[in-house]
Amino acid sequence: MQPEVNREQREKLEFNSSARYTLGVEIEFQTLDQSSLNLAPHAPQLLANAPPLLRPRLAEEFIQSILEIKTGICFSLADVEYDLQQTCSLAEELAADNSAMLYCASLHPFASISDQRLADNPRYLKIINELQLVGRQFISQGFHLHVGIPDRTTAIKVLNGLQPYLPLLLAASASSPFYQGLDTGFMSYRTKLFELLPLSGSYSYFKGWQQYEETVNSLISYGVIESVYDLWWDARINPEYGTVEIRICDLPGRFNAILGLVALMQCLVATLAETAGDFGPCDVYFMRANKWQAARHGLQGRFIDPLELLPEKVTDMKTAILHLIHRVQPMSIRLGCENYLEKIRRILVDDTTAVHQRQLYQQSRDFQEMIRKLNREFWL
- Which pLDDT score is estimated for 120? 80
- Which pLDDT score is estimated for 11? 56
Range 7-376 classified under CATH 3.30.590.20? yes
**283 phi, psi to nearest 5 deg:** -65, 115
Encode burial over 64-102: b for 16+ CB neighbours within 10 A, e otherwise.
Answer: bbbbbbbbeebebbeebbebbeebbebbbebbeebebbb
**Helices vs strands, H then E, count in the chain:** 15, 13
Instruction: Give the HSE-up count for residue 301: Cα atoms under 13 Å, Cβ half-sphere.
Output: 29
- DSSP lists the bridge partners of residue 24 as 146
Averages of pLDDT over runs of 10 residues in the chain (380 residues) are 43 88 98 97 96 95 93 98 97 97 97 87 80 81 96 97 97 98 98 89 94 95 91 96 98 98 98 93 93 98 91 94 97 98 96 98 97 96
**In 3D, which of 250, 265, 259, 248 has the Cα closest to residue 380?**
259
- Which pLDDT score is estimated for 380? 86
Q: Is 102 helix (H, G, I), strand (E, B) or coil?
A: strand
> Distance between CA atoms of 247 and 83, rounded to whole angstroms?
20
- Which pLDDT score is estimated for 7? 47
In the chain, where are the structural domains located? 7-376
